[in-house]
Amino acid sequence: MLSERRLEVLRAIVQDYVGTEEPVGSKALTERHRLGVSPATVRNDMAVLEDEGYIAQPHTSAGRIPTDKGYRLFVDKLAGVKPLSVPERRAIQNFLDGAVDLDDVVGRTVRLLAQLTRQVAVVQYPSLTRSTVRHVELLPLAPARIMLVLITDTGRVEQRLVDCPAPFGEASVADLRARLNSRVVGRRFADVPKLVQDLPDAFETDDRPTVQTVLSVLLEALVEESEERLMIGGTSNLTRFDHDFPLTIRPVLEALEEHVVLLKLLGEAKDPGVTVRIGHENPHEGLTSASVVSVGYGAGGPQNEALAKLGVVGPTRMDYPGTMGAVRAVARYVGQILAES
Amino acid sequence: MLSERRLEVLRAIVQDYVGTEEPVGSKALTERHRLGVSPATVRNDMAVLEDEGYIAQPHTSAGRIPTDKGYRLFVDKLAGVKPLSVPERRAIQNFLDGAVDLDDVVGRTVRLLAQLTRQVAVVQYPSLTRSTVRHVELLPLAPARIMLVLITDTGRVEQRLVDCPAPFGEASVADLRARLNSRVVGRRFADVPKLVQDLPDAFETDDRPTVQTVLSVLLEALVEESEERLMIGGTSNLTRFDHDFPLTIRPVLEALEEHVVLLKLLGEAKDPGVTVRIGHENPHEGLTSASVVSVGYGAGGPQNEALAKLGVVGPTRMDYPGTMGAVRAVARYVGQILAES
DNA sequence: GCTGGCACTCCGCCCCGCAGAGTGCCAAGG
DNA sequence: CCTTGGCACTCTGCGGGGCGGAGTGCCAGC
C-alpha cells in the first residue's frame, strides 16, 4: 500500500500535469505544493510510484506524467466530484428550459455539455426497450395504404407507410386502431408482440392479411425505435490537443462517427453514478488515449432507472473532478426537464 | 485573355498540386505533361499567371500553387465534371436502396458522400417551406390534453402536446380533425395560416379557446418543421490535411458545428447545377481556406424544384472534377429514392 | 516567341554545442 | 528507517552554421 504522502504526491502530479500539460518534476512539485519535504524525498516517492506503474517518464530525465493506472487511482481515491458553481447551475437551467421538443432537449444538452467541459459531448436519445407505447395511430391515406404512427412515452414519434395486401375500409381501420390501442397503450415495447398476437382472429378472413401486415410493420417500428441513437457535439474541442496528439485526434474522430461503438461503450457503464473510463480501459482502439466520463439520466430521480446515457470524451489528461461534476449536473437537469414534459 | 497554352499550364499546375500536395515547379511540369515547350517557356507563362493572380509562390524560389482565383478559373473553364464509374454508381444505388425511412436516407447519404469523396459531407433534410401537409392527426390523451401529429409530404413527422384551456370532448376532437384535414391536406405550409383562420367560428363558444390553442400549436409546429436541419459526417477526413493545415482544421470544425451558418451557405447556392465555392468566396471566416461543393436534390427530376441541398466541404486543394461528379451522382440517386417512397 | 545557360535565392536538413531541467545515487544526519 | 543535500549524468530543446537541391529570373541567341 502506498503511504499517505505518496498518494499526495500522485495527486499533485495529476493536478499539475492536467493544468500545465507538461511533465512535472520533483522541484516544481515541492514549489507548487506544500508537501513539507524536499525534492529529493519526492524523487524517491516518484521512483516508487513509477515502479508501481502509476506514473511514467516520457523520456529519461524528463518529468513524470500519470499513467492510466495513475489516473484511475486519482479518480477512485484522491479526487471527488467538483460541484458546479451557482451561476453555472443557473446557466444550465436557463439554457435547457427553452427546449421545445425532445430533439431540441438533446441538441441543447449536447451543446451545453460541450461548452461546459470544453470537450466532445455525447448524448444518447432517451429511448430504451423499457419505453412504453403512448399511442398508435392509423391513418387511411388510400384504400390500400395506411400510415402508422407510433408515439412513445419518451416523446418520440415513428411513422411507417403500410401497403395493404387488400383494400381496407375506414371502419375497419378505426376498429383496428381501437383494438390495438386498448391492448398496447402503456405497455412496454417488449411486451407488445404477444399482446397483439391473436388480434387478426377478431377480423374477417378477408381483412386478416392486412391486419397481419400492419402488425408486422408496427413490430418492426418498435424494434427500430428501441434502437439507440445519439447526438455528438463539440468536436472542435478536440483540436485543443492537436499540438500534443496530432495522431490521436484522427482515430478519436473516427470512433465518434461510429455511433454503434459509442452506444456500446455507453451501455457498458453500469455504475449508478458517474462512470469514468480511462485510456486503455476503453474497449475501442481509437479511444485508447481518451477518457470517457458518462452517467445515466432519466425522468425519475437520480436513483430511478436511467433512460439513457450522456457524457463527454476527452484526453486522458482531463480535469476529472470538474468534468464529472458537469456531467452529473447536466444529467440531473435534463432529467428534470424530461420529467416535466 | 490568357493564351491556350497558359491555360494548359494552369490546368497542369492545379492537377499536379492536387495530386502531390506540393508546390510545382517548371521542370517537373514539363516532365509530367507533354506541353511541347521547355521549362524556360513554362517559367515565362508562370510569371504571367502569377501577375494575373492565378498562382502564387509560398516562398521565393519555390514552386507555384494555385490561388483561389486559379481554382476558380480551373473549375469554370478548364475542368468538367468527372462521371463516376459504373461500379461506383452501382455501389451508391445498393447502399441507398436499403434505407427504411427519411432519417435513414439522410444518414446513409452522409456516410456515402463522405466515403466517396473522402471529405466532410453535409446533407440538408428535405423539408423546405414548399413542403405540403399530408395529414394532421389529433389524439385525445385526456379530457384537456390532446396530442397533435403533423405529417408532411416529405415523410417527416412532428408531434406536439396541447394543453387545452377547457375539456374538449372526443366528438369535438373528431370534428376538428375532420375540418382541419379537409382544409390543409395537400396545402403548402405557408398557406395554412389563412386557411384555418376562421376555423374557430365553426365551433361552440366554449370550445373556441381550445380550437384556437390547437391551431396556434399547429402553426408553431409548421414553423419548426420548415426550419432546416442537416446532418454531417466524415469529419475524420479533415485530419488527412492536418499536417498541412494544423491551424485551419479547428475553425472548419467550428463552422461545421454551426448548422445555421452551413444552412445559410447551402441556401445561397442558387445554381441549378453543382455549385462550387472556393476559399475566400465563402462568407464564413472559418471556411476561407476550404471549398464547398454543393448541389440541390429533390424527388423530381434534375430540373425540378430542389427540396434541399447536399454537398461536401474540403480543402481548396481538392479534386474538383471528381468531387463534383460524386456530389451530382449522389444527389440524383437520393432524388430517385425520395421519389419512390 | 522559344530556348539554353547562368547566377541567385531560399528552404529544409543535419550537425554541433550549449543551457536547462530532471534524475538516480550516495553519504550524512535526524 | 526515513529524509536531506550534493553531485554526476542524461536527455531535450534551441539557436547557429554549413550545405545541397529545387526553383526562379534574366539574358542573349536563334
Nearest nucleic acid nucleotide to A36, CA to C1' distance: D3
- Residue range B4-66, CATH number: 1.10.10.10
Place of cell 449508478: A272
| Helix ranges (DSSP H) in A100-231 | 102-117, 170-184, 192-196, 208-226
**What number is the average pLDDT over the span A203-208?**
89
Contact, B47 CB vs strand C, < 7 Å: no
Cβ–Cβ contact A107 with B under 8 A: no
pLDDT for res A93? 94
- Cross-chain residue pair B139–A135, CB shorter than 8 Å: yes
Cα–Cα distance, B314 to B322 (Å, whole number): 13
The CATH classification number of A132-226 equals 3.30.390.60
Average pLDDT over residues B210-218: 92
CB-based contact A161 B100, cutoff 8 Å: no
Highest mean pLDDT among A139-148, B70-79, B128-137, B262-271: B70-79
Q: A105-114, A186-195, B55-64: which has the highest mean pLDDT? A: A105-114
Average pLDDT of chain B? 88
B180, B184, B189, B191 alpha-carbon torsion, rounded to 10°: -110
CA distance B261 to B161: 30
Torsion angle (degrees, nearest 10) of CA B323, B329, B333, B336: 130
Chain A residues 42-81 with Cβ under 7 Å of strand C are 43, 46-47, 50, 57, 61-64
Q: Measured between CB atoms, which of A100, A224, A239 is closest to B253?
A: A239
pLDDT class of B326 with cuts at 50, 70, 90 = very high
Residue A155 in grid coordinates: 416523446
pLDDT digits (tens, 9 = 90+) for A55-97: 999 888 889 999 999 999 999 999 999 999 999 999 999 999 9
Answer yes or no: is pLDDT of A310 > 90: yes
Indicate whether A46 pLDDT > 90.
yes
Any idea what DSSP says for residue A278? E
B30 pLDDT higher than 80:
yes
Q: What was the pLDDT predicted at B279?
A: 93
Shortest CA distance to B132 belongs to which of B75, B175, B191, B79? B191
Does the structure show a pLDDT above 60 at B246? no
Q: Does domain A86-127+228-340 have CATH number 3.30.450.40?
A: yes
Q: Do A233 and B257 touch (CB under 8 A)?
A: yes
Q: Which nucleotide is nearest to B26 (CA to C1')?
A: D23
User: Chain A neighbours among B 21-40 (CB < 8 Å)?
Assistant: none
Report the amino acid identity of residue A119: Q
Q: How far apart are CA B94 and CA B88, in angstroms?
A: 10
Q: Scanning every residue of chain B, which has its alpha carbon at the shortest distance from the alpha carbon of A235? A: B253
More reliable by pLDDT, A159 or A326: A326
**A244 has a pLDDT exceeding 70:** no
Does residue A304 have a pLDDT over 60?
no
pLDDT at residue B304 in the model = 52
**What single DSSP character describes residue A85?**
P
Give the nucleotide with minimal C1' distance to the Cα of A43. Answer: C23
Mention every residue, 6+ apart, whose C-beta is less than 8 A from residue B118: B234, B237, B240
Please, where in chain B does CATH 1.10.10.10 lie? 4-66
Through-space separation of residue B63 CA and nucleotide D17 C1' in angstroms: 26
- Which protein residues have Cβ within 7 A of any strand D atom? A 5, 36-38, 40-41, 44, 59-62; B 23-28, 39-40, 43, 46-47, 50, 57, 61-64
Tell me whether residues B236 and A243 touch, CB distance under 8 A: no
- The beta-carbon neighbor of B257 closest among A100, A236, A254 is A236
Distance B41 CA to C11 C1' (A): 24
Compute the mean pLDDT over every residue in chain A, rounded to the nearest whole number.
Answer: 88
Contact B139 A151 (CB under 8 A): yes
Task: Say which range, A57-61, A321-325, B51-55, B230-234, has the weakest mean pLDDT.
Answer: A57-61
A60: which nucleotide lies closest, measuring CA to C1'?
A: D11
Q: Which residues from A are below 8 Å from B161, CB to CB? A: 341
pLDDT band at A129 (very low <50, low <70, confident <90, very high): low
CA distance A44 to chain B (A): 40
CB contact under 8 A, B253 and A233: no
* Chain B interface disruption, residue of A225, A235, A241, A340, most B CBs within 10 A: A235
Per-residue pLDDT of A13-38, as tens digits, reads 999 999 998 999 999 999 889 888 99
Provide the pLDDT for residue B303.
Answer: 45
Going by pLDDT thresholds of 50, 70 and 90, the confidence category of residue B162 is confident
Q: A81 or A100, which is more confident?
A: A81
Q: What residue in B sits closest to A160 (Cα-Cα)? A: B101
Q: Which nucleotide is nearest to B43 (CA to C1')?
A: D24
- For residue A198, pLDDT beyond 70: yes
Is the distance from CB of A302 to CB of A332 less than 8 angstroms?
yes
How many residues belong to chain B? 341
Interface size between A and B, measured as CB pairs under 8 A: 84
For CATH 3.30.390.60, list the domain ranges present in chain A. 132-226
Coil, strand or helix at A197:
coil
Is any Cβ of chain B less than 8 angstroms from the Cβ of A173?
no
Q: How many Å lie between the alpha carbon of B182 and the closest alpha carbon of chain A?
A: 13
**Lowest-confidence pick of A25-29, A136-140, A191-195:** A136-140
What is the CA A9 to C1' C21 distance in angstroms?
Answer: 19
* pLDDT at A247 > cutoff 80: no
